[in-house]
């Protein structure tokens, strides 16, 4: 326990799903956590829950596709907690459609939230991490960042970009003692997973049953992904950078 004592972390998409589970776990392990999200109600509720448990947290309303919002989120975190050591670029969206049925606006939105945000948040976070003597960036990719998937062309493109951005960033910033890794979750019980069923027009129970069709015969719970992110954020992964950690119950196997 307390593997992140004296650390300061930013979690994007921290109001729900994997982000929320990770923010709670980071705080439990001793980190001060900035929850960055566009959902103010749920973001404030997550921060309040951390504080009620004796942890340190703030909520920052942020559109992660906007440079000024990202800069503000990083600077507010550093001003509040005195530094920055961990960045979990987790926020993401999905559009379930092929090329023909994906609009230009939808394509731009998926790429903005899933890819541009990683660029912007990292751009403003890295100088503060370097000042602190190093840090850890974890980017949420996907199994579909390593292979293709049906009716999800913009999402697959975005997560493929995140996977290779992770490698490039690890090369560029290793000399600053900044480790950059990606976590590749399989289907996880989040609002986004259930929204996929709606987008595809499938009954939710049937869609979830298909999501569980993997060697472990179930989909993940958010805390199971959060545990993997905690490993990559912590000193237990001190020699791990440029890696993609697949956490998918054997789905890609």
Which residues are identified as catalytic?
155
Tokens (6 digits) for 134? 């190093």
Q: What is the DSSP string of 164-222?
A: HHHHHHHHHHGGGTEEEEEEEE-SBSSHHHHHHHHHHT--HHHHHHHHT-STTSSPBPH
Length of the chain: 253
**β-bridge pairing 178-185 and 56-61:** unpaired
Count of Cβ atoms closer than 10 Å to residue 128 Cβ: 18
β-pair type (32-37, 8-12): parallel
* Rg of the chain, C-alpha, whole Å: 17
Integer Cα distance of 106 and 161 in angstroms? 17
Helix (H), strand (E) counts: the chain: 9, 7
DSSP 66: S
**Closest of 167, 188, 206 to residue 94, by C-alpha:** 188
Angle at 132 between CA 71 and CA 43, to 5 degrees: 45
Could you give the C-alpha distances from 1 to 27, 225, 234, 247, 251, in angstroms and in order? Answer: 11, 18, 11, 22, 30
């Amino acid at each position: 326990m307390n593997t992140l004592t004296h650390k300061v972390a930013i979690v994007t998409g921290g109001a729900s799903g994997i982000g929320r589970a990770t923010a709670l776990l980071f705080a439990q392990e001793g980190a001060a956590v900035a929850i960055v999200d566009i959902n103010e109600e749920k973001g404030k509720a997550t921060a309040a829950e951390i504080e009620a448990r004796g942890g340190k947290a703030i909520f920052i309303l942020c559109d992660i596709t906007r440079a000024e919002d990202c800069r503000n989120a990083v600077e507010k975190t550093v001003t509040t907690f005195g530094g920055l050591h961990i960045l979990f670029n987790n926020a993401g969206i999905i559009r379930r459609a092929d090329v023909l049925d994906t609009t230009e606006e939808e394509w731009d939105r998926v790429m903005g939230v899933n890819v541009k945000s990683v660029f912007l948040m990292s751009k403003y976070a890295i100088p503060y991490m370097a000042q602190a003597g190093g840090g850890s960036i974890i980017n949420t990719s996907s199994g579909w960042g390593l292979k293709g998937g049906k009716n999800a062309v913009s999402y697959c493109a975005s997560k493929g970009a995140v996977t290779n951005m992770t490698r490039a960033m690890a090369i560029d910033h290793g000399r600053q003692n900044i480790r950059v890794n990606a976590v590749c979750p399989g289907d996880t019980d989040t609002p986004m997973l259930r929204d996929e069923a709606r987008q595809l027009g499938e009954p939710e129970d049937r869609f979830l049953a298909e999501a569980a069709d993997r060697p472990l015969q179930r989909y993940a719970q958010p805390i199971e992904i959060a545990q993997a992110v905690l490993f990559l954020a912590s000193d237990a992964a001190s020699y791990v950078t440029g890696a993609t950690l697949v956490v998918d119950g054997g789905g890609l196997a």
